[in-house]
Amino acid sequence: MEPVVELQHITHVYVSDREASLALDGLDLKVYPGEFVSLVGPSGCGKTTLLSIIAGLMKPTKGEVMVYGRKVGGPTAEVGYMLQQDYLFPWRTIFENASIGLELTGRMDEEHLAKTVSLFEEMGLEDTRDLYPQQLSGGMRQRVALVRTLSTEPGILLLDEPFSALDYQTKLQLEDLISETLREKNKTAILVTHDLSEAAAVSDRIIVLGRRPGRILRTFEVPKHIRNERPLLAREQRGFHELFHEIWREMEGAGNKE
């Protein structure tokens, strides 16, 4: 099986007037169709930098990113990016916010608008179309952000801590919703998170990055009986807590390594 995302020796250096800082160092990774992969590691280890490079928003200092076998030279509609903040425009209605990707890609046609309406129904947003962002809760706003991301039909979703600003109950509900939605639509996803329980509950694989410069220290394969469950139920499966603590120990070691 060919990977849909392939990172080849990715190295990235941030340069300022005073210094150069190595953020990522010789990172190799392959992500396969339909996989859900999580990136975890100490703060500042380059996780978000890596997502930006995959999205084509940033060019690595060295190395190449391949998406569907083609070298990434900039942003592409094949890759959707969902952030921690929803970035909804307060002067646009919810539906206008959700369809902005269609506007930008010139796809405001009947077919794509109908698919966006269908996504609204799937996300429980059908009664919010004519409301404005300030009228919705944080969890509902993140659902709108997900519809906006999915409306352009990307095959790959990059998720940069999309649940971290939400209360715990809403976070668990959205984990379930997004995980099931991506599975049903056969999307490939890469998640950045600081929440190891979340990573273990939603992922097929978990990649632990070391302290800056970011390198892959270890890859955890989530057991099939855990990953086949909804995230909420996955936390109750045998072996889940052992997996969580093993990742935790690896993370502690990653944080202590200079």
Residue with more model confidence, 165 or 34: 34
- 60 band by pLDDT with thresholds 50, 70 and 90: very high
3-state class of 129 per DSSP?
coil
Contact between 210 and 25 (Cβ < 8 Å): no
What pLDDT is recorded for position 177?
A: 86
Share of the chain above pLDDT 70, in %: 98
Domains and CATH numbers, the chain: 5-78+154-256 (3.40.50.300), 90-153 (no CATH)
Work out the average pLDDT over 98-122. Answer: 88
Contact between 45 and 210 (Cβ < 8 Å): yes
What pLDDT is recorded for position 67?
A: 95
What pLDDT is recorded for position 160?
A: 93
Share of the chain above pLDDT 90, in %: 60
For 153-195, give the secondary structure using H, E and C. CCCEEEEECCCCCCCHHHHHHHHHHHHHHHHHCCCEEEEECCC
Helix (H) or strand (E) holding 202: helix 196-202
Q: 139-192, pLDDT tens digit by residue?
A: 899 899 999 999 888 999 999 988 887 888 888 888 898 888 888 889 999 999
Q: 203-256, pLDDT tens digit by residue?
A: 999 999 988 788 999 999 999 999 999 999 999 999 999 999 999 999 887 655
- 40 band by pLDDT with thresholds 50, 70 and 90: very high
- 198 band by pLDDT with thresholds 50, 70 and 90: very high
Triad 60, 63, 68: Cα angle to 5°? 95
Indicate if the pLDDT at residue 93 is higher than 50: yes
- 258 band by pLDDT with thresholds 50, 70 and 90: very low
What pLDDT is recorded for position 257?
A: 52
Average confidence score pLDDT of the chain: 90
What pLDDT is recorded for position 85?
A: 85
Strand bridging mode 156-160 / 188-192: parallel
What pLDDT is recorded for position 27?
A: 93
